[in-house]
Structure 1
Amino acid sequence: MNLQFLGGAGEVGRSAILVNDSLLLDFGMKTADPPQYPVGGLRGGGPAPDAVVVSHGHLDHVGSIPALLSGDARPPIHWTPPTEELALTLARDTLKLHGGTPRCPFTEEDVRRVTEVAERHGYRETFEAAGHEVTFFNAGHIPGSAHVLVDDGETRLLYTGDFHTENQRLVSGTTARPDADIVITESTYADVEHDPRDGVEERFVESVKTTLWEGGTVVVPAFAIGRTQELMLVCAAHDIDCYVDGMGKDVTRMIRQYPEFLRDGEAMRRAKSNARFVTGRDGQRKRIADQQTVIITTAGMLSGGPAMTYIPEIYANPVNKICFSGYQVEGTPGRQLLETGSAEIDDRHLRVSAQVESYDFSAHADSGGLRDFLSDYEDTPLLVNHGDSCEWFAEQLRDEGHDAIAPELGETVDV
């Protein structure tokens, strides 16, 4: 089996792996300035696969997929139903924000073509793609996320995609450990130990309730896919009323159509009933910011979205609170605010008097979770990708007895 790492090697973002020059696993986008795409470029310069298989619906795994259809090629795209819906939602959002500029690698017509070639599959349903047998297994990351098992008749490859071994309120942790001859593993949090999720949730709930009791407003910047819904579930479970704003509203409506890909579809229904979705009309956001309430809103790193309205409304009052719900990438306004107490928000430099806190609601396996998963593959060669410390983690795994390497960007590996 021949594997070419077109993205995601030694980095988080633009995941793309070409198998046997014919089957493409993911085709993402790295949110940088300017955005970065898989090696080889797009529109004729990139891969021309016979088929595409997608692990899950996050931008770093699906963000460039419509560009594969910009020419004459029409490779079928295989994914779970939620992943297709999420990919299309992200593509349309990219068009809305950057359509017609170099920051958008595809057109509306390319996005329309995606729906023509899309093929949906459930977990543990084997299908054929570019001459390979492929099977999805629940990866426990977000709704519809999948480990991808690829069999070319000689070698069985397990591409983990992004995964979590612990239960979240939204999805159950992965329990799948399919037999494989080679494993490509993510390593996003290889050097991190998450605090126990129950404890994180307890501290978050106590902090939020304290602020509300004191008469303050809590703004919770959250990623639209997965994190917004997780926080809605947390609020509902603890009888905390909340508003929801941004793309997370559309994502919530969509994933409720697929309860079989959720840990508890009824709990998600209750969480939706508990939340109030913001329309954004007639100054509604500014009125909400004056209430004693919780506002779950994009963007998760304060890089855009309705958060640009809420933060300037609540930043000056020390009773108010901003609760980050995930990792803040270096260079983002969220990271700047955490480190310095001030940030550039919507072209304004704000020195924030509101309290700023951070909670780790990560949907990725941490160091212990990765090792727990990989312990079932002690005699299986490992290829480490999707992380900022891939070579370091590969060395750690070698010291622990694994056969592990970290491919470089653009490298081809024969297994």
Structure 2
Amino acid sequence: MDIRFLGGAGEVGRSAILVNDRLLLDYGMKSGNPPQFPGDVDPEAVVVSHGHLDHVGAIPSLLSGGARPPIHWTPPTRDLALTLARDTLKLHGGTMQCPFTETDVQRVTQVSKTHGYREPFEVAGHEVTFFDAGHIPGSAHVLISEGRSPSSNRTASDVDDRETRLLYTGDFHTDDQQLVSASTARPDADAVICESTYSDVEHDVRGEVEERFAESVERTLWEGGTVVVPAFAIGRTQEMMLVCDAYDIPCYVDGMGKRIAEMLMHHPGFVRDADALQQAKSHSRFVTGQDGQRKRIADQNAAIITTSGMLHGGPAMTYVPAIRGHPANKIAMTGYQVEGTPGRDLLETGSAEIDGRVMPVSAQVEQYDFSAHADRAGLESFLESYRDSRVLVNHGDRCGWFAEELRADGFDASAPDLGERVVLE
């Protein structure tokens, strides 16, 4: 089996892996100014692990020429990818920051093929099976086999010696979240392409993080303050809605996360508790953003869950300036802040560039680890099932370091470079 890393090697963003020059795994974009995209490719088919921008952001561009490769994904991933594509068109259509057109997005719907978990399907000369990755709704580990239908229950004696099985983890989590359950799938594989986003981090116990967050928000509300909760639209917004509902915290929800919450209600089988999500949705007040509504809400004694999670756009551009000047207010960051983003600057310096102006912030600023990725312990526990497999580390800022640590622990591990071709025997 021949594997070529077109993106996501030694970096977080623009994930893209080509298998046997025929089957493409993911095709994302790396946010920035300008954004970065994977190398050009003309696959027979595409298989997508999950619906985050760094894995699906460039998918429509694969259909901009004469090719029409089928795109295989879970139902939520399909809907999330289309939502992101249309949002990208709305924000950047007709510029270098958007590599596709509305016509290309329409073509995506025409070639889309959806599959559930543990339902093998044939594509581009391979057998593929999705397994729940526990990252966001619809996220999948992707098992690719050159031989017979994959199965997590087969023994080594059942497998043809000429068959090679590759497991692409995508992004995954080994702990339960409010929105989705932990990944427990460990299908047999000869080689594993493993994400390493948090390979140097140990997450705090999720329940304890939720309690600290809830206590802090409740204290601020009791003291008469307002809490702005910047959150990623896909996964994190809905997670924070569930946390607020569980602790009976009144909250508004603004930004794209509203649409995602509505959409996920159409895929109840891909969330941990569809009834709980419906309850959280009923508990939340969705913001329309019309007629100065946001400025009025910013003056209220409530929590406001809003995009963007790193403060580089979205309704947060209204809420943060409105509440920044009073120390009774609070900004509760819920996700990793990439270096160079306003969110990172705010955490490190107490000020941030919002809409072209550097603004000092007197409001309290806190950060909470609600990550949807496995940490170091989670990665190690997952990989323990693959001690006899080859491990290719990708999707991280310290891939080489983590691969070296794995080798010291007895693994056959390496971290391919961008553009590198790896042959599995």
TM class by smaller structure: over 0.9
Which residue pairs with 2:286 in the alignment? Answer: 277
1:306-334 deviations in Å (ceiling 9; x for gaps): 00000110000100000000110000000
Give the whole-Å Cα distance in 1 for the aligned partners of 2:59 and 2:30.
Answer: 13
User: Of the candidates 80, 93, 104, which is equivalent to residue 86 of structure 1?
Assistant: 80
Aligned pair count reads 409
CA shift at 1:349, angstroms?
1.6
Distance in 2 of aligned mates of 1:364 and 1:349: 31
> In structure 1, what is the equivalent of residue 373 of structure 2?
364
Offset of 1:398 from its aligned partner? 0.3
**Matches for 1:249-264 after TM superposition, within 5 Å:** 249-264=258-273
Q: 169, 173, 176: which one pairs with 1:160?
A: 169
What does residue 389 of structure 2 align with? 380
Q: Does 1:139 align with 2:148?
A: no
Structure 1 unaligned segments of length 5 or more: list them.
40-45
Query: In structure 2, which of residues 61, 65, 84 is the aligned counterpart of residue 67 of structure 1?
Result: 61
Q: For 2:221 and 2:363, locate their aligned partners in 1 and report how far apart those are by CA, in whole Å.
A: 13
CA distance in 2, matches of 1:171, 1:245: 21
Aligned partner (choices 194, 213, 225) of residue 185 of structure 1: 194
Distance in 2, matches of 1:160 and 1:98, equals 30
Deviation at 1:33?
1.4
Q: Which residues in structure 2 correspond to 1:96-245 (within 5 Å)?
A: 96-153=90-147, 154-245=163-254
Distance 1:215 1:338 in 2: 23
The equivalent of 1:8 in structure 2 is 8
Classify the secondary structure of the residue corresponding to 2:108. helix
Q: 1:271, CA displacement in angstroms?
A: 0.2
Cα separation, 2, equivalents of 1:56 and 1:212: 36
What is the alpha-carbon distance in structure 1 between the residues aligned to residue 54 and residue 328 of structure 2? 36
* Per-residue CA distance 1:203-225 (angstroms, 9 max, x = gap): 00000000000000000000000
Runs ≥4 residues deviating over 6 A = none
User: Which SS does the other structure have where 2:17 is aligned?
Assistant: strand
Q: 3-state SS of the aligned residue for 2:332?
A: strand
The corresponding residue for 2:331 is 322
Distance (whole Å) between structure 2 residues aligned to residue 348 and residue 5 of structure 1: 39
Secondary structure at the aligned position of 2:69 is classed as coil
Give, in angstroms, the shift of residue 32 of structure 1.
1.6
Paired with 2:137 and 2:28, the residues of 1 have a C-alpha distance of 18
CA distance in 2, matches of 1:327, 1:115: 32
- Superposed CA offset, 1:56-94 (max 9, x none): 000000000000000000000000000000000000000
Deviation at 1:347, TM superposition (A): 1.7
C-alpha distance after superposition, 1:272-324 (max 9, x if no partner): 00000000010000000000000000000000000000011000010000000
Among residues 383, 396, 416, which one is paired with 1:407 in the alignment? Answer: 416
Give TM-score scaled by structure 2 length.
Answer: 0.96
Q: 2-side partners of 1:129 and 1:309: how far apart?
A: 46
Give the RMSD, CA atoms, in angstroms: 0.4
1:306 aligns with 2:315: yes
Matches of 2:291 and 2:34, distance apart in 1: 34
Whichever residue aligns with residue 164 of structure 2, its letter is: T
CA–CA separation in structure 2 for the residues paired with 1:9 and 1:284: 43
1:43 alignment counterpart? none
User: What is the alpha-carbon distance in structure 2 between the residues aligned to residue 142 and residue 49 of structure 1?
Assistant: 26
User: Which amino acid is 1:124 matched to?
Assistant: R
Secondary structure of the equivalent of 1:165? coil
- Amino acid aligned to 1:22: R
Which secondary structure does the structure 1 equivalent of 2:119 belong to?
coil
